[in-house]
Amino acid sequence: MSPETLQDQPPVPGIMRVVREFLESIIDQVPDADRYHAMCCVYLMNVAERELAVDPVAPELKQRIDAFLGEIRPLPDAIQEFSVGLREGRCDARWDETFALVLAQVVAKVQVSKPDHLQPIHRK
Amino acid sequence: MNSAVDNSTAEIVRRLGVAVTRRFGGAARVEDVEVATLGGSNRTLLFNLVEGAATRRLVFRQETYRLGHSPFIAPSAQFRLLKIAYASEIPVPEPVFEFEPADQLGRGYVVAYVPGETLPRRLITDPRFSTARARFAEQAGALVGRLHRIEPAQAAFLAETPDSLDPIAAQLARLDYYGEAHPAVELAVRWLRMQPRPTARRCLLHGDFRNGNLMMGEEGIRALLDWECAHLGDPMEEFGWLCLRSWRFGELDKPVGGLCERAPFYAAYTAASGIEIDPDAVRWWEIFGFVRWIVLNIMQVHGHSTGVRRSPAFAACGRNTCLIEYDLLMTLLGHYQ
């Protein structure tokens, strides 16, 4: 048994991996009509595996957003407030700082979705 | 193509058969039906219309759902545009007939089938399409040029659509409807609002002119498909969309859909339309195009998450959104051209 869970082997990352590896092994045998969806499944399993390996709260990013907004909030609320502030022009005077923070948030998402998409400077 | 026809499709085919006999006579019949896949909001069937010794391969396109704040124009407007484009000798599938209430087929239409290839990666890399690629700049530039020469008054029925009235407001209304917060979209919209807004002439725009919506043969372009995003607007908007990094599929030195460079494409366009390219306006519309593409991906995952139409591809769209956001920011920074 894994020390973090009641459940037996394999742990969730292992389940994700074996499903993905099986999908990858059969992709060339999938009929044309379904192959694109099968490839999307592989992609999504890869995303899920990476997401399980990171802290979903993204503490460093959250700290930056909280500091920018001057208030501590749950991450979804902070991103919502950040978006509203941007739309209303409240961040215009801090453009460079705002841009850097938006880029950091996007990079953190891409690192989970498809890290190969990032330029080397943004890869971990 | 999946040749299997399920029960609900069988009923649709039966009604199509009735619709065909109403228009082409009792001897006309529907044969060799194939179900096309990958339609997000439409049911698409291929079939033969048999009239005596004559057989025509046709495409049945039926709207299957309509979300609130849909970015897509109604099938009836699409059909009208196809007729306008066809009469203007734009290469489009020949419009055959539109559904009527008596057909009990909902909203949609039938057009001629145009064989060929639409998959961007094949068009960009397959040696079979080397001639098509060599001709693309001239053919595509001339095609868009002829499209933009159509008198916009012919498509006045598009004047009140959200994308014709205020493209930025249209995107934000959709984003708000989907209920997602995306700082990158808000940042880009802020950038767009701070720049001088291009105020050029207004043309009939296809609105989704890119690889994937061009039916190609080995000899070149055969038909311009999928008119559901058409609207009236600045002609430079068409190029901001076409030149998005998202359509290059790794061919980054060929910004026009991964198929050619800008200069020969623009030259062919200007020769056909008489309209000069404004690079600053194209850049403005390219940033706008990223915003629009992000919102369209959010729409797809919204449809998936709400259970309206679930699929792995629509789910993947949600996680693709940040890749487009990254390209948008890198373009704003000047790292991507």
The rounded percent of chain A whose pLDDT value lies above 70 is: 98
CB contact under 8 A, A89 and B319: no
Q: How many folded domains does chain B comprise?
A: 2
Q: Does B7 have pLDDT greater than 70?
A: no
> Do A42 and A67 have their domain in common?
no
Residue B2 lies in a domain: no
Q: What DSSP character marks residue B200?
A: -
Query: Measured between CB atoms, which of B37, B313, B329 is closest to A40?
Result: B313
Over residues B230-256, the mean pLDDT reads 95
The answer to whether residues B146 and B276 belong to one domain is yes
Looking at B73, B92, B112, which one is the last position of a domain? Answer: B112
Range of the domain at B202: 120-332
Contact (CB, 8 A) for B128 and B260 = no
Residue B51 tokens, joined: 């009239």
For A20-42, the three-class secondary structure string (H helix, E strand, C coil) is HHHHHHHHHHCCHHHHHHHHHHH
Interface residues of B toward A, Cβ cutoff 8 Å, are 1-2, 37-38, 172, 181-187, 189-190, 194, 311-313, 315-316, 319-320, 322-323, 325-326, 329-330, 332-333, 335
- pLDDT for B251: 92
* CA B63 and chain centroid, separation: 15
Answer yes or no: do B56 and B162 share one domain. no
Name the pLDDT band for B199 (thresholds 50, 70, 90): confident
Residues B65 and B197 in one domain: no
Q: Does A63 touch chain B (CB under 8 A)?
A: no
Give the confidence band of A56 by pLDDT, cuts at 50, 70, 90: confident
Residue A80 and residue A100 in one domain: yes
Residue B314 falls within a domain, yes or no?
Answer: yes
Pairwise CB contact (< 8 Å): B183 & A117: no
* Residue span of the structural domain in which A17 resides: 12-52
Instruction: Determine the pLDDT at residue B198.
Output: 79
User: If you average pLDDT over residues B44-64, what whole number do you get?
Assistant: 94
> Do B212 and B301 share a structural domain?
yes
For residue A86, list chain B residues with Cβ-Cβ distance below 8 A.
183, 186-187, 190
| pLDDT, mean of residues B126-153 | 97
Q: For residue A95, tell me if it sits in a domain.
A: yes
Residues B141 and B35 in one domain: no
Q: From CA B54, how far away is CA A50, in angstroms rounded?
A: 57
Q: Are residues A37 and A88 in the same domain?
A: no
Cβ contacts of B316 on chain A, cutoff 8 Å: 40, 43-44
- Please indicate whether residue B69 or residue B28 has the higher confidence score (pLDDT): B28
For B49-78, what is the mean pLDDT?
91
Instruction: Say if residue B1's pLDDT is above 60.
Output: no
- The answer to whether residue A38 is domain-embedded is yes
Note the pLDDT tens digit of each residue in B71-100: 999 999 999 999 999 999 999 999 999 999
Among B54, B86, B112, give the residue marking a domain's end.
B112
pLDDT of residue A59: 92
- Same domain for B91 and B187, yes or no, is no
Residues ≥6 apart with Cβ < 8 Å to A62: A75, A78
Q: Are residues A27 and A68 in the same domain?
A: no
Residue B115, preceding peptide bond in cis (omega within 30° of 0):
no
Question: B323 with B181, same domain?
Answer: yes
Asked whether residue A74 falls in the same domain as residue A34, the answer is no
Residue A1 has pLDDT above 50, yes or no: no
**Chain B residues near residue A103 by CB distance under 8 angstroms:** 329
Which residues of chain A are within 8 Å of residue B119 when distances are taken between CB atoms?
none
Q: Do B184 and A82 make contact, defined as CB atoms within 8 angstroms?
A: no
Same domain, B101 and B141: no
**Mean of pLDDT values over B319-337:** 96
State which residue of chain B sits closest to A87, comparing Cα positions. Answer: B186
Residue B95 sits in the same domain as residue B130: no
Answer whether B326 sits within 8 Å of A83, measured CB to CB.
no
Task: Give yes or no for A54 touching B (CB within 8 A).
Answer: no
pLDDT value at residue B94? 98
Could you tell me if residue A6 is inside a domain?
A: no
Write out chain A residues lying below 8 Å of B190, CB-based: 86-87, 89, 91-92
pLDDT band, very low/low/confident/very high, at A97 (cuts 50, 70, 90): very high
- For residue B37, pLDDT beyond 90: no
- CATH number, residue B162: 3.90.1200.10
What percent of chain B shows pLDDT beyond 70? Answer: 97
Is pLDDT above 80 for A22? yes
DSSP per-residue letters across chain A: --TT-SS-SSPHHHHHHHHHHHHHHHGGGS-HHHHHHHHHHHHHHHHHHHHHTS-TT-HHHHHHHHHHHTS---HHHHHHHHHHHHHTTTTGGGHHHHHHHHHHHHHHHHHHH-GGGS-GGG--
Does residue A114 share a domain with residue A79?
A: yes
B284 pLDDT more than 90: yes
Residues A39, A65, single domain; the answer is no
Indicate whether B66 and B210 sit together in one domain.
no
Task: Work out the mean pLDDT of chain B and round it to a whole number.
Answer: 93
Whole-number pLDDT of residue B230: 98
Whether A40 and chain B come into contact, CB under 8 Å, resolves to yes
Q: What is the mean pLDDT of residues B280-294?
A: 97
The answer on B138 and B100 residing in a single domain is: no
| pLDDT bucket at B40, cuts 50 / 70 / 90 | low
**What pLDDT, on a 0 to 100 scale, did the predictor assign at position B4?**
43
* Chain B hits for A106, Cβ within 8 Å: 184, 322, 325-326, 329
Residues B102 and B150 in one domain: no
Q: What is the DSSP letter of B103?
A: G
Rounded mean pLDDT, B179-191: 97
Confidence of residue A34 (pLDDT cuts 50, 70, 90): confident
Q: Does A57 touch chain B (CB under 8 A)?
A: no
- Whether residues A16 and A71 fall in one domain: no
Query: Does A68 touch chain B if contact means CB atoms closer than 8 Å?
Result: no
Q: According to the model, what pLDDT value does residue A5 have?
A: 79
Count the Cβ atoms, other than its own, within 10 Å of residue B81: 24
DSSP letters for B260-274: B-HHHHHHHHHHHH-
